[in-house]
Structure 1
Amino acid sequence: MNSFNMRYHEVLNEYLLNVRDKVQISFELFPPKNEISCENLLQLVDKLKLFNPIFFSVTCGAFLGKKDNTYNISKKVYQRTGIETVPHLTCINLKREELINVAHKYWENGFRHILALRGDVEDFNSKPNMYAVDLVKLLKSVANFNISVAAYPEIHPESFDAHSDLINLKKKIDVGANRAITQFFFNIDCFLRFRDLCVHNGITIDIIPGIFPIVNFRQLCNFVKTSNVTIPRWIFNMFDGLDDNIEMREILGASITMDIVKVLYKEGIRNFHFYTMNKFKIVASACHILGMASNVL
């Protein structure tokens, strides 16, 4: 490492000296596949809660054939931790009446915060009957939910361009969204440009960066096939030849995640949403450098 890079990392580390109590974090979980996985998830939650997250979110999932699995897991996580738990709700495969019933169920059972999403379509050429903006309006018509929505620093794959993508985000905010959580990214400049564009277009709600710790690089490559997320060439080079070296992959994944967090903190970001993939080590490493509950590790 040359002297410039050494000094750059020293500067980043200096920014982190007084981070404690200045950062907010949240964790995304996904529903387990079976009862054993469910117990593993709850044990993971026991560890993650020691980092004092402001909330857990639970993705939509159809595992075990349970239509309401997101609700059940969200309830278990909240009962286990006492920490606000945010169920994801998609509208792509549900009728309006069904969505209203789901919204009432969440509200009546104490859920006040929903992450409202359209959901993935199988065929980009087909026109969905509802979009996220419609879901936000529907939720607000049922009760005064606290609503998070998705944002895309590298543009949603179905958007015509960055401007139309921002207009769509603005529409969701205008009908009641309270914050946006971004799709994960590895090009930090893309996120920072997106944040600036949001401000320029009158979007003043919190834009929370979604952080994806790389645990399984091949899995990541599959994830990005249906998105506009760019994996920089240097990341491909770092993981080249490491398919069977789990320990080295974890070390590299932790290093990349921590560098992203450091740079974002230097750029004024104080709120981070971690896509945990139901894993602990790398997420814990990133939280540790942010000064969150250092006694956990």
Structure 2
Amino acid sequence: MPEVSFEFFPPQNLEASFRLWDTVQTLAPLGPRFVSVTYGAGGTTRDLTREAVATLHKSSGLKVAAHLTCVNATRSETLAIADDFAKAGVTDIVALRGDPPKGTGAFQPHPEGFSDACELITALAETGQFTIRVGAYPDIHPEAANPQADIDWLKAKIDAGAHEALTQFFFEADTFFRFRDACAKAGIDAPITPGILPIENWKGARRFAERCGARIPDWTLSAFETAERDGRTDLLATAICTELCSDLIEGGVENLHFYTLNRPELTRDVCHALGIVPQVQLENVA
């Protein structure tokens, strides 16, 4: 049976805060090995992320991993945030370069900031305080020259001190297996955990895939068109995601990382279908 982890994004209003907590309450009983909280593009949710991480760590009893990026901050500011996490007892970090603010074009490092994820990882590793996770791309990253460039960059991040990679989502298990084999051939021995996106909204997932370079198989287009016409998109999404996860498990995958988009129902249903059942009950907090 695989272990699971879940990604959330920080709430930006009161209604979203309730949805985040409902999401946590729905998924926490499945006993995740950790949950992570994202940054918005351009670091736009930096303070919200810090607040959400601190609240989840204090109130949920879950291991919480905080996203940290290089965008729009000096080195000292970024490391001060990391130090605040450590003082609060949060010692898991997902270290990313980060996306530039919308409408600004290509990523430009802050004049006094980290120029890329490797520099950030090196600085975090030197503190000796953190378990560091990083991103990986089974489908070619939009900024990568070729697939090997993605693998070379991942190896550089592992060599800089990262402990585990979490992949971008993908649609077919063979995509992950090819990537995993290529990473092993390149000498990457750190765990590579597949990122899973239960498709809550097909149009949104398709836009997301096009933006991040995830290849969309032709069969998914016709399948979701038919399901939308018949009003069965949730059923299709659950079936597709469950089959993908089953194929990964049969191929030796031991951990799965779900991108929940703060909508937990499909993720919960997929986990149940895989035999991952409630282990603990999250206590209500005032």
State whether TM-score is above 0.5: yes
Q: Is the 8 A contact 1:133 1:172 kept in 2?
A: yes
Q: Is the 8 A contact 1:187 1:230 kept in 2?
A: no
Q: For 2:95 and 2:107, how far apart are their aligned partners in 1?
A: 22
Q: Is the 8 A contact 1:188 1:260 kept in 2?
A: yes
Residue of structure 1 equivalent to 2:273: 289
Letter aligned with residue 233 of structure 2: R
Mean Cα displacement is larger for which, 154-163 or 262-271?
154-163
The 5 A counterparts of 1:65-144 are 67-121=46-100, 122-124=104-106, 130-144=115-129
Q: For 2:5 and 2:222, how far apart are their aligned partners in 1?
A: 30
The 5 A counterparts of 1:1-297 are 22-61=1-40, 67-121=46-100, 122-124=104-106, 130-240=115-225, 248-293=232-277
Evaluate the alpha carbon distance shift between residue 203 and residue 67 of structure 1 in structure 2; reply closer, same or farther with a 3 A threshold.
closer
Q: For 1:125 and 1:62, how far apart are their aligned partners in 2?
A: 11
Per-residue CA deviations over 1:101-158 (Å, capped at 9, x if unaligned) read 1111111111111000001134238577611111101212334310000000012111
Q: Is the 8 A contact 1:151 1:169 kept in 2?
A: yes
Per the TM alignment, residue 61 of structure 1 is displaced from its structure 2 partner at its CA by 3.1
Q: TM-score with structure 1 length normalisation?
A: 0.86
Unaligned runs of 5+ in 2: 281-286
Per the TM alignment, residue 244 of structure 1 is displaced from its structure 2 partner at its CA by 7.5
Larger radius of gyration: 1
Per-residue CA deviations over 1:34-90 (Å, capped at 9, x if unaligned) read 112102211220110110000110001389x76411111112222232110011111
Unaligned runs of 5+ in 1: 1-21
Q: For 2:67 and 2:119, how far apart are their aligned partners in 1?
A: 15
- Classify the secondary structure of the residue corresponding to 1:68: helix
Letter aligned with residue 130 of structure 2: F
Task: Kindly report the root-mean-square deviation, in angstroms, between the aligned alpha carbons of the 2 structures.
Answer: 2.1
Q: For 1:34 and 1:127, how far apart are their aligned partners in 2?
A: 29
Identity %, equivalent residues: 36
Evaluate the alpha carbon distance shift between residue 72 and residue 230 of structure 1 in structure 2; reply closer, same or farther with a 3 A threshold.
same
Q: Which runs of 4+ in 1 moved over 4 A?
A: 125-129, 241-245
Q: For 2:243 and 2:274, how far apart are their aligned partners in 1?
A: 11
Q: Is the 8 A contact 1:100 1:142 kept in 2?
A: no
Q: For 2:106 and 2:206, how far apart are their aligned partners in 1?
A: 20
